[in-house]
């Protein structure tokens, strides 16, 4: 069967994932922008589109090697997406032969580097504990929110609400997640994590992502949960976070929160506009 010629409205993309947290990545460097919220919703449909947890758009940047813009599956924007950042960092390092890159996001410029053995690490920046930066609806103690279960609120450029429970695997994530995501304390909604601590350097966690739903993994959620657990004195500064899709290594360093794990480039495709 003859191969169809590319049209101006056709959009090449890559499908990637980090621990099953899956992404569509569109490279718009040197090209006219094509991706918007409507396209993100259409591509994000797992039955009629491609399907993803987040869509990441690569664009040119004067401040870094490239800029990433993130869309959730419902078309809303996200300032940060740790696993997608690692996937794109790995792609650019393989493309250029560099051992390190910088990636500009709406959360700031994030350095990433090759850790060997197929692992990629990204510095997600510092977590914020301030109620107005998360943001919350009004001033309160972010270490113990006035919600049943007393969760912790954190910002990694996007809002997070972390519950520490006896057994996160016993939590009905599909029913509890959306209720907390839309809680009135979070005017911009929130990502939701349920976690239990298995040791000073080990956390088991499950994730409900804002604008997406249940996901197998989340990089920014892993960083937020490790930071929240450390604030409560439950873990040290280096933590392995075990998610439904696998494990991420989180290091709370003086220069930010470093997240390390594997990435996968699954396939390339063309979205027919």
Mean pLDDT of 123-135: 97
Per-residue pLDDT reduced to its tens digit, 176-198? 999 999 999 999 999 999 999 99
Domain with CATH 3.10.310.10 in the chain: 11-124+261-271, 152-254
HEC sequence for 70-124? EEECCCCEECCCHHHHHHHHHHHHHHHCCCEEEEEECCEEEEEEEEECCEEEEEC
- Topology classification of domain 152-254: Diaminopimelate Epimerase; Chain A, domain 1 (3.10.310)
- Topology classification of domain 11-124+261-271: Diaminopimelate Epimerase; Chain A, domain 1 (3.10.310)
The H or E element that residue 175 is part of is: helix 173-181
Per-residue pLDDT reduced to its tens digit, 226-260? 999 999 999 999 999 999 999 999 999 999 999 99
The pLDDT of residue 1 is above 90: no
């Amino acid at each position: 069967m003859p191969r169809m010629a590319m049209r101006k409205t056709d959009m090449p993309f890559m499908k990637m994932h980090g621990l099953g947290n899956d992404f569509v990545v569109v490279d718009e460097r040197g090209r006219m922008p094509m991706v918007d919220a409507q396209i993100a919703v259409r591509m994000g449909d797992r039955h009629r589109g491609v399907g993803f947890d987040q869509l990441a758009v690569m664009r040119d940047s004067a401040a870094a090697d490239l800029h990433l813009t993130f869309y959730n599956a419902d078309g809303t924007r996200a300032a940060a997406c740790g696993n997608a950042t690692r996937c794109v960092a790995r792609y650019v390092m393989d493309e250029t032969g560099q051992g390190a890159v910088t990636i500009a996001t709406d959360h700031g410029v994030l350095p990433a580097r090759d850790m060997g053995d197929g692992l990629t690490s990204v510095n997600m920046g510092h977590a914020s504990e301030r109620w107005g930066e998360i943001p919350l609806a009004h001033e309160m103690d972010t270490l113990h929110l006035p919600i049943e279960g007393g969760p912790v609120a954190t910002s990694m450029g996007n809002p997070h609400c972390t519950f520490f429970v006896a057994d996160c695997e016993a939590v009905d994530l599909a029913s509890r997640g959306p209720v907390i995501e839309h809680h009135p304390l979070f005017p911009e909604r929130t990502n939701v994590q349920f976690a239990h601590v298995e040791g000073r350097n080990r956390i088991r966690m499950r994730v409900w992502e804002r604008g997406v739903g249940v996901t197998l993994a989340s990089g920014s959620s892993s960083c937020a949960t490790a930071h929240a657990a450390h604030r409560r004195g439950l873990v040290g500064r280096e933590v392995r976070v075990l998610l439904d899709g696998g494990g991420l290594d989180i290091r709370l360093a003086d220069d930010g929160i470093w997240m390390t794990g594997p990435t996968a480039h699954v396939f390339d495709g063309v979205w027919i506009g």
